[in-house]
Amino acid sequence: MEIPSSAQEQQMTIATPPTFGTPPTPGIPSCTVAQIRDAERAALARTPEGALMRRAAGELTTAVLDALDGHVVGRSVVLLVGAGNNGGDALWAGVALRRRGGAVTALLTDPARAHPAGAAGLRRVGGRLLDVARADVEKLLAAADVVIDGLVGLAARPPLREPAASLVRLANRCAALRVAVDLPSGLDPDSGVATGEIFDADVTVTFGGAKPGLLVSTSAGRVVVADLGMAPDPAVASVGVLTDQLVAGLLADPGSGDDKYSGGVVGIVAGSAQYPGAAVLAVGGAVRLRPGMVRYAGPQAAAVVQAWPEVVGADDPSRAGRVQAWVVGPGAGTDTAARDRLVTVLAADGPVLVDADGLTLLAAEPALLEGRRGPLVLTPHEGEFARLFPDLDLTDRLGAARAAAASTGAVILLKGHRTVIAAPDGRAYVNTTGSSWLATAGSGDVLAGVMGSLLATGIDPLLAAAAGAHLHGRAGERAAHDRAAGAHQLWDRLR
Ligand SMILES: NC(=O)C1=CN([C@@H]2O[C@H](COP(=O)(O)OP(=O)(O)OC[C@H]3O[C@@H](n4cnc5c(N)ncnc54)[C@H](OP(=O)(O)O)[C@@H]3O)[C@@H](O)[C@H]2O)[C@@H](O)CC1
Ligand SMILES: Nc1ncnc2c1ncn2[C@@H]1O[C@H](COP(=O)(O)OP(=O)(O)O)[C@@H](O)[C@H]1O
Ligand SMILES: [K+]
């Protein structure tokens, strides 16, 4: 099963697909360390001694061999080995790679405590075991083809202590392929926060399930999930990743009984004299998702209708007619007229998504949200988020988005390389599609329109926002592939 991926270097694959009950967040579930530890305890009780570690080492070996296209004979493999079971996984993978002809050297941070059976196994097959304190680490790493990080796993919390921190710093400088066991050492697996040194992995082979920190972080590289037969109950997962299949299921084609109202009517309040393009871009995102109807309400109606003749234009949301979901804010300005339009839209019963200049108005005047009853989605980038929620710590992006959602009662979509989407009840998604080609002016305007059309279909606002980010990310990947520059290039690549 393919987990949605962003650029090629950030793909995820899943070794054993998880089974689903009715997860609170449809998609691939991601569980906390405590939940994975519970599943691990249950699995340990029903499996023979050492079996889980053998499976873990087997999955790790397969991933390394895949990354090397099977060519391990004569290649230099360096294992970074801590004193816990994470080091044990690395040592047993080292045994397997040695048996296939690799030149395997283990650097032990604490030789007296290195996993005894794994260390003995590697010695038996002719691998080298060195004490980090006595080895020429820089020379070894410079000659390495692969570095496997088995320093710490689930039991550790950052920052890394010495000598692990220095080893990681050196390993990050070498040209070898970097493979992390379970998680990149130095990363907090629950939050993705890294304090101090963090192993910069090309591939992470993780056990039991994809921890949220691996989804949020840019240090995990391609993530391979091996459930080892101990996957936690997906119903306990509160963080999910959407799949192409699930998102496609939300984009039903119209049936014979449909009319333009049943397909969803989205209203867009965007653009200004200063930013006329934002109106056209946001409306384009909405039109290309194929709702029943797109209404535009604002000062750029003429320009919008010229670009998108199917759009019904008005100068103000109070004169727009029936709308099932509103998007307000992209390039809309922050003057009195813009504020009045925001107030009108916020009084609507249906879902409202506030973006860009709309968020600037809310940050300056939070009281505008008082009295808001219907579903609300706020879509800040980090700068807007910091202005809206100055007390929340953005180093923990998932935690910050969840806290913001809980305090406002809104779905929060916090933009970034890995966009996170959180609902007030604690459910969250991490978007793993996308490309740095999305870092272009106006790309957020297109996203706002896309999410508006999804909201107008009446689906759960959390799912609408997450699915919008997923589709926008895929469009960004296609634009990168086609080297198609400019936010308007996303329109044709959305469905
Ligand atoms: N259980 C199973 O069946 C299975 C488990 N599996 C594997 O086991 C892993 C968990 O193993 P684990 O629980 O042994 O601990 P682990 O993560 O290796 O770390 C402990 C070591 O880290 C050290 N350390 C701590 N903090 C630190 C810091 N800040 N900076 C530096 N060092 C620090 C700590 O040192 P100490 O504090 O004891 O001196 C201790 O030596 C899991 O991630 C998976 O890979 C798989 O094989 C599947 C089957
Ligand atoms: N480096 C990046 N990698 C992936 N996606 C990115 C990156 N930078 C920005 N994005 C995405 O591009 C969009 C930019 O939106 P936004 O900041 O509102 O821009 P604008 O206001 O110019 O339209 C967001 O969806 C964000 O997640
Ligand atoms: K590790």
Q: How many CB atoms are located within 10 Å of the residue 70 CB?
A: 9
pLDDT tens digits along 118-177? 999 999 999 999 999 999 999 999 999 999 999 999 999 999 999 999 999 999 999 999
Q: What are 77's strand-pairing partners? A: 104, 146
pLDDT of residue 255: 85
pLDDT of residue 90: 98
pLDDT of residue 404: 98
CATH of domain 2-236: 3.40.50.10260
278 is in an annotated binding site: yes
| pLDDT mean over 461-486 | 97
Q: How far is CA 177 from CA 63, 116, 147, 189, in A?
A: 12, 27, 6, 22
Per CATH, 2-236 and 245-493 having the same topology is answered: no
Q: How far is CA 456 from CA 66, 270, 431, 452, in A?
A: 44, 17, 21, 6
pLDDT of residue 25: 63
157 is in an annotated binding site: yes
The answer to whether residue 21 scores a pLDDT higher than 90 is no
The answer to whether residue 19 scores a pLDDT higher than 70 is no
pLDDT of residue 11: 43
pLDDT of residue 262: 84
Q: What is the DSSP letter of 234?
A: G
pLDDT of residue 141: 98
| pLDDT mean over 218-234 | 87
Fold held by 245-493 = UDP-N-acetylmuramoyl-L-alanine:D-glutamate ligase (3.40.1190)
Choose one of 152, 211, 224, 227 to mutate for the ligand 1 pocket test, by most ligand atoms within 8 angstroms of C-beta.
152
434 is in an annotated binding site: no
The answer to whether residue 64 scores a pLDDT higher than 80 is yes
pLDDT of residue 394: 96
Query: HEC states along 287-316?
Result: HHCCCCEEEEECCCHHHHHHHCCCCEEECC
Query: Residue ranges of the domains in the chain?
Result: 2-236, 245-493
Q: Which DSSP string do the residues of 59-98 spell out, in sequence order?
A: HHHHHHHHHTTT--TT-EEEEEE-SSHHHHHHHHHHHHHH
**Contact by Cβ (8 Å): 208, 30:** no
Cα 205 to middle of ligand 3, angstroms: 9
Cα 153 to middle of ligand 3, angstroms: 5
Confidence band, pLDDT 50/70/90 cuts, at residue 194: confident
Cα angle 290-448-372, degrees, rounded to a multiple of 5: 110
Q: What is the ipTM of this complex?
A: 0.93
Chain position carrying tokens 């409306």: 283
Candidates 106, 83, 84, 110; CA nearest to 94 is: 106
| Whole-prediction pTM | 0.90
Q: What is the DSSP letter of 194?
A: B
The answer to whether residue 55 scores a pLDDT higher than 70 is yes
Instruction: State if residue 474 touches ligand 2 by the CB under 6 angstroms criterion.
Output: no
